[in-house]
C-alpha cells in the first residue's frame, strides 16, 4: 500500500479538473450521509483522502473521524477542519488507540483495490473492533474481477457528460495515459473481487454482508457492500 499512499500524498493529477474533484467529493459525502443512522452517530471515514465535502457528513452526525494514512493529506485535513467542532483528523494508527465499539458507522471507500488481500483482512479486523454491535460498515467502490481501465474511462466520461466537464475528462484521460498513475497501476496492479468473494471475505472477518443496490460514487460498474458485525459464538 505504501506506493499508493506516496502517490496520493504527492501533487498528482488524478482529477481531470477542479470541477471533477469537487463533484467527486460532494457526491461521495452525500452517499455517505444516506448511511448515517442518527444525528448523534459517530462516523469513521477509513482512508478518507482529501474529504473536501466532509462538512456535509459532519452536519448529519454527532462526530466524524477522518482517518488518513498519507501525511501531507492528513496535514491539509487538519488545517482545513481545525475549527470544525465535530470533525477529528487522525492517522490509521491512531484508530488503534480508540476504545472498542466506538463507531456507529465506518466507511472505507475506494481503498480495497489499492491494498493486498492480507492488508484488507487487517483493515477489516480493525474496523470490526471499532464498530458497535449495532453498527454498520460500508465498503465502497470495489472493483469487479472483469473490470478494466476502459470500464473506468467510460464511467468518467459519462460522469463528465452529465456534469459539464466532458472535454476536461477527455483531456484528463489522455494525461492519465502518460502519468505516474498509469505506470503505478501497470506495475502494482489493482485488487479485484467478485461479489461472492467479497461477501465471503467479510464473513471470515466477522461480518454479515450483502451488496448494495448502488455503488458509492459515480462508477456504476463498481460494487459497494453493507456489512454488520456478527457476535462471536
CA nearest neighbour of 139 among 55, 89, 203, 232: 203
Residue range 200-225: mean pLDDT, rounded: 96
35 and 44 in contact (C-beta within 8 Å)? no
pLDDT in tens, 49-74: 999 999 999 999 999 999 999 999 99
Gap between the Cα atoms of 101 and 106, Å rounded: 11
The better pLDDT of the pair 44, 167 is held by: 44
Statement: residue 153 has pLDDT above 90: no
Indicate if the pLDDT at residue 175 is higher than 60: yes
Distance separating alpha carbons of residues 220 and 199, to the nearest angstrom: 19
- CATH fit for domain 2-229, picks 3.90.230.10, 3.40.50.11540, 3.30.565.10, 3.40.50.150: 3.40.50.150
**Residues 6 or more apart from 34 whose CB is under 8 A from it?**
none
SS3 track for the chain: CHHHHHHHCCCCCCCCCHHHHHHHHHHHHHHHHCCCCCCCCEEEEECCCCCCCHHHHHCCCCEEEEECCCHHHHHHHHHHCCCCCCEEEECHHHHCCCCCCCEEEEEEECCHHHCCHHHHHHHHHHHHHHEEEEEEEEEEEECCCCCCHHHHHHHHHHHHHHHCCHHHHHHHHHHHHCCHHHHHHHHHCCCCCCHHHHHHHHHHCCEEEEECCCCCCCCCCCEEEEEEECCCC
State what percent of residues in the chain have pLDDT above 70.
Answer: 91
Residue 216 confidence (pLDDT): 94
pTM: 0.89
pLDDT higher than threshold 70 for residue 233:
no
User: Which whole number is the average pLDDT over 112-128?
Assistant: 95
**Dihedrals phi, psi of 75, to nearest 5 degrees:** -65, -40
Among 48-62, 135-149, 195-209, whose mean pLDDT is lowest?
135-149
Amino acid at each position: 500500500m505504501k506506493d499508493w499512499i506516496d502517490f496520493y500524498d504527492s501533487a498528482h493529477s488524478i482529477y481531470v479538473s477542479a470541477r471533477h474533484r469537487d463533484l467527486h467529493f460532494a457526491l461521495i459525502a452525500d452517499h455517505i450521509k444516506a448511511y448515517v443512522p442518527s444525528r448523534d452517530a459517530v462516523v469513521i471515514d477509513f482512508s478518507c483522502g482529501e474529504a473536501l465535502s466532509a462538512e456535509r457528513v459532519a452536519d448529519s452526525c454527532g462526530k466524524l473521524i477522518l482517518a488518513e494514512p498519507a501525511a501531507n493529506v492528513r496535514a491539509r485535513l487538519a488545517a482545513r477542519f481545525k475549527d470544525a467542532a465535530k470533525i477529528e483528523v487522525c492517522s490509521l494508527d491512531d484508530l488503534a488507540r480508540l476504545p472498542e465499539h466506538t463507531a456507529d458507522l465506518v466507511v472505507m471507500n475506494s481503498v480495497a483495490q489499492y491494498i493486498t488481500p492480507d492488508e484488507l483482512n487487517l483493515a477489516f479486523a480493525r474496523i470490526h473492533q471499532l464498530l458497535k454491535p449495532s453498527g454498520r460498515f460500508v465498503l465502497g467502490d470495489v472493483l469487479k474481477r472483469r473490470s478494466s481501465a476502459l470500464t473506468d474511462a467510460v464511467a468518467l466520461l459519462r460522469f463528465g457528460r452529465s456534469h459539464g466537464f466532458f472535454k476536461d475528462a477527455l483531456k484528463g484521460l489522455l494525461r492519465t495515459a502518460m502519468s505516474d498513475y498509469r505506470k503505478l497501476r501497470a506495475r502494482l496492479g489493482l485488487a479485484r473481487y467478485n461479489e461472492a468473494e467479497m461477501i465471503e471475505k467479510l464473513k471470515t472477518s466477522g461480518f454479515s454482508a450483502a451488496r448494495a443496490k448502488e455503488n458509492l460514487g459515480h462508477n456504476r460498474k463498481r460494487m459497494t457492500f453493507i456489512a454488520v458485525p456478527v457476535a462471536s459464538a
